[in-house]
Structure 1
Amino acid sequence: MATDEESPLVVEENHPQSQPLNHKRDVHILCWAFLLIFLAYGAVQNLESTINTEGDLGTISLGILYVSFAFFSVFASLVVRKLGSKNALVLGTTGYWLFTAANLKPSWYTMVPTSLYMGFAASIIWVGQGTYLTSAAHSHAEDYNLHEGTVIGKFNGEFWGMFACHQLVGNLMTLAVLRDEKGGRTSGTTLLLILFLCSMTLGTILMCFLSKRNGKEERLQESPVSSSSSIGSLLKSILILLLDVRILLVIPLIAYSGLQQAFVWAEYTKEIVKPALGERGVGGAMAVYGIFDALSSLAAGQLTSGLSTITIIVSGGALIQLIVLLWLLANYSVSGGLLATLLPLVIGALWGIGDGVLNTQLSALPGILFKHDLEGAFAQLKLWQSVSIAVVFFISTSISLQTMVVIMLVALCISVAGFLFLTLKVEKAFSYGAA
């Protein structure tokens, strides 16, 4: 029998009269739903700074969104526990739909409120996603007597591989629909946004077909707990988790994963792709980035089996991004001819590999290290990621590419050093203590 520490939220209660859940089916549904929602949102996010330029409305809206995301991530685990991971996923999709719809009539009165609400929606959809996927992986491993870490890695690899395809599909739709006109104007924006809203609606409908996860998650929803005691319990669990040396050593890597994602949206497209390939080349470069992100996610997920393999895979991904950063810092410059076309694409491909590695491995870690508080661990993951993303959006307009690269280099070195110390020293001590 599993111990209490190993069983919260992730173990099914298999009653004789109940039919076992089809965990792989649920993972497939989750993957397709997120693809339909984020192929739309990802493309809209890429376009924000170019279609809403007046008063920097697009960039500021994204900054507000990620500040809201960071704030609500503190309370997201409580909301997911109350609603259940499936209901949290469905509710979370509404924020993305409203944010995209607001772009049909962009103004401070439409974009700011929807950005604030989407921060809340994003916090619960991502905590819900991490909790749901890990719950399905634990249950599938138990039902079929499989190695838990391997199943977690494979499920995360499939999810993040499919998720990374949103960059490819969304940007290809953007390239197909938008048209450049004289005077720097762009036509087809309204049609593109309507198509994106249809895609998001399909994703939301698909999310409704997910099975409800059983076990402790359902019991938490049914238990009558007052709001004050729930908030007190939440703050206590956050404090307890932050006192765990393991989460403190993982936080720098979590923050770096947010930095490197925002680097693509804020710096790579503006400072590397656009000068060499022009605005039309941004979609193609992001498609290349998405392809390699998807492939590396699938490969990393298949190779994951536990903390030792996660350490090796993360180190490999970090090394690839370190090489790119050193290249940018040393002698990268926009040249002419074929080289000017290839270099931004090569950088995008290498960066996509690193992003795929970090996404799959950081998503697998909570299910391996923090089984006692899955929602809290995933909330910490999204909290520190969104804080670092918001910081990049707010400072990117006032610093140079070289300064950003230096910041990224320092953050990468600190995060990898902390993670290696965790895996080599701290987790070994925890394992001995639990033995």
Structure 2
Amino acid sequence: MPGYSRSMLDAAEDNEDIEMEEMTVFTADEEKVNLLLQEGTVTKRTDSEGDVAEDSDNSTAVSHRRRKTKRQTWKNVFVIGFAFMISFSAYGGLQALQSSINCNEGLGFASLITVYMSLILSGLFLPNAVIRLLGVKWTIVCCTACYIVYPLANFRPSWYTMIPASVVVGLAASPLWTSEGIYVSASAYILTDVSDKENAGAMLGRVFGFTGFLFNLHGIFGNFISATVYRELLTPEERHHEEPGVVYTCGASNCRDTNGNSTSYCYPPPLSATAVVLVIFISLYFVAILMLLFFLDKLPEDKEQRIKDTPLLASTVQTMILWKDYRLWMLVPIMMSDGLRVGVLNGDFSESYVSCGIGVEYVGYVVLCSFIMQALASYPSGLLTKYIGRLPQLAFGVALDCVLIIVMLLWDPDDRVELYFLIAAGWGVTHALIIVQLKSFLGLFYPDKPSAAFANFHLWGAVGSCVSFAMSLMFCVSTKLYILFCFQLIALALYAVVECIFKKREKGKPGSL
């Protein structure tokens, strides 16, 4: 498809000026004109022949061009949002299954650790270099295509297939998300130029809100697909298999190794069923790539050139520029807690509770429940900030986290399906409260360095996930839960201190910076 560009707007305005200059404007003394009209010597020109008609035609043409640009830009916003929703439905659904379908020797956990370690390195060094080389659109297309290697590796899961595939995914992740943010931001500014009603800030919020809504649907669709396929294809024996004479431990007592004997429940579903899931996920990737190839227009040349003029290691500098601020280090624990929570839900809870207790076919449904509650809790959390502030909501989120951890420590998983969904729903609410409030606080606390603040947010979240998956290979589930319990309380206490510093700064007290 032909690409749109910001030059369309400039051309429209230039054409308008040229047409106005070429118009012949006749001026006369007002009394003479009236006299001639009264005598009938001259007559008024009709609208179709006069300047008023020409002005109307020009205004209509400009308005038409603006509407066309607006439609084309919103089309691009929808394409990129929908394509990301499709592709991450595949990746998110497969990530939630790793600890269950690749549980032998901890391969699933190891692959997730590798993804996040590669993502950390990628975020520091690769985004600007890749985008300068390929451009924004082709970075999105090529990095999305890189994700296909992950489901392909799962057809023959081994250390020689999964680890290299995980490296590729991790390295592609950061350029992908950086280019997506650049594209959506540029689209918002183009829409601002053709809109007379909204400023840039309002339009940015509107566009990012729309793409964010589409993206968050991935957790629902991806997990629903995997859960439905396994439920339809697996026999009752395959859903929850127990080897004769082998004692498995579920829940908090699940350990990787005890005196040389693994007590971890590990019975992957048949490859025939998993292959169906993988084929569907690969198909989703191809649909997303084709959408991006044929329906996503390239960014305007001036936007692309601005990126090429950005220093090569700008993303690295932006991330590290805040490391000299001691207050950021006080926020690192609560930023890491998000990644730790993701590791518990997608790793320990999926394997040691859901798969072990009621079967792998329920993993997708349970994780889906968590995403639904996260979506439902996010918007009310933002509204409540005006009335009760951030700290009470964060305190409630951490308290709920601690309650869930205590339940998981004391509960021996059984066949009461509703309990698994309740715990997952609780994790979803906690995740929404902490993410919404922490992001809003970072934007307020670092108003002049928002890029650096959010770069650190994603970096330390990835570190948290990496640590969480690594602990799953080294410790029993109970040990990890105790560590998470204490870490959450420390993180909340440190955040409360920084919140107090922020309030003092807002009141203008000296020495608070």
Q: Same fold (TM over 0.5)?
A: yes
Measure the CA separation in 2 of the matches of 1:280 and 1:146. 48
Contact 2:400 2:430 in 1 (8 A): yes
Q: What is the deviation of 1:251?
A: 2.6
Q: Give percent identity, aligned residues only.
A: 24
Specify the alignment match of 2:306 in structure 1: 220
- Pick from 127, 136, 144: which aligns with 1:93? 144
Q: Please give the per-residue CA displacement for 1:154-200, whole angstroms capped at 9, x wherever unaligned.
A: 65555454434323322222233232356765233223212111111
Contact 1:156 1:360 in 2 (8 A): no
SS at match of 2:217: helix
RCO higher in structure (CA 8 A, sep ≥6) = 1
Say whether 1:255 aligns with 2:331. Answer: no
Contact 1:131 1:374 in 2 (8 A): no
SS at match of 2:411: coil
Letter in 1 for 2:96: N
Specify the alignment match of 2:320 in structure 1: 239
Q: Please give the per-residue CA displacement for 1:93-116, whole angstroms capped at 9, x wherever unaligned.
A: 122112122223333333222211
Q: Please give the per-residue CA displacement for 1:353-395, whole angstroms capped at 9, x wherever unaligned.
A: 2223344455556665556555544432332122211111121
Measure the CA separation in 2 of the matches of 1:364 and 1:136. 23
Range 206-215 or range 101-110, more displaced: 206-215
Contact 2:81 2:211 in 1 (8 A): yes
Say whether 1:125 aligns with 2:176. Answer: yes
Q: Unaligned regions of 5+ residues in structure 2, if any?
A: 1-5, 13-65, 242-268
Structure 1 residues 321 and 165, CA, compared in 2 at 3 Å: closer, same or farther? farther
Measure the CA separation in 2 of the matches of 1:332 and 1:198. 39
SS at match of 1:106: coil
Structure 1 residues 126 and 60, CA, compared in 2 at 3 Å: closer, same or farther? same
Say whether 1:201 aligns with 2:286. Answer: yes
Specify the alignment match of 1:398 in structure 2: 474
Letter in 2 for 1:32: F
Structure 1 residues 335 and 110, CA, compared in 2 at 3 Å: closer, same or farther? closer
State the aligned residue count: 411
Structure 1 residues 249 and 128, CA, compared in 2 at 3 Å: closer, same or farther? farther
Structure 1 residues 269 and 217, CA, compared in 2 at 3 Å: closer, same or farther? same
Say whether 1:174 aligns with 2:256. Answer: no
Specify the alignment match of 2:101 in structure 1: 51
Specify the alignment match of 2:266 in structure 1: none
Letter in 1 for 2:95: Q
Structure 1 residues 14 and 244, CA, compared in 2 at 3 Å: closer, same or farther? farther
Letter in 1 for 2:336: A
What is the TM-score normalised by the length of structure 1? 0.78
Q: Unaligned regions of 5+ residues in structure 1, if any?
A: 1-11
Letter in 2 for 1:202: V
Q: Please give the per-residue CA displacement for 1:312-342, whole angstroms capped at 9, x wherever unaligned.
A: 654544443233234445x434356xxx222
- Pick from 328, 336, 345: which aligns with 2:421? 345
- Pick from 407, 416, 420: which aligns with 2:492? 416
Structure 1 residues 110 and 130, CA, compared in 2 at 3 Å: closer, same or farther? same
What is the TM-score normalised by the length of structure 2? 0.67
Specify the alignment match of 1:6 in structure 2: none
Q: What is the deviation of 1:346?
A: 0.7
Letter in 2 for 1:51: I
Structure 1 residues 240 and 139, CA, compared in 2 at 3 Å: closer, same or farther? farther
Q: Please give the per-residue CA displacement for 1:191-240, whole angstroms capped at 9, x wherever unaligned.
A: 321211111122233345456667985343343x7xxx734x55544432
Say whether 1:385 aligns with 2:479. Answer: no
- Pick from 336, 357, 372: which aligns with 1:291? 372
Contact 1:314 1:361 in 2 (8 A): yes
Measure the CA separation in 1 of the matches of 2:329 and 2:300. 31
SS at match of 2:312: helix
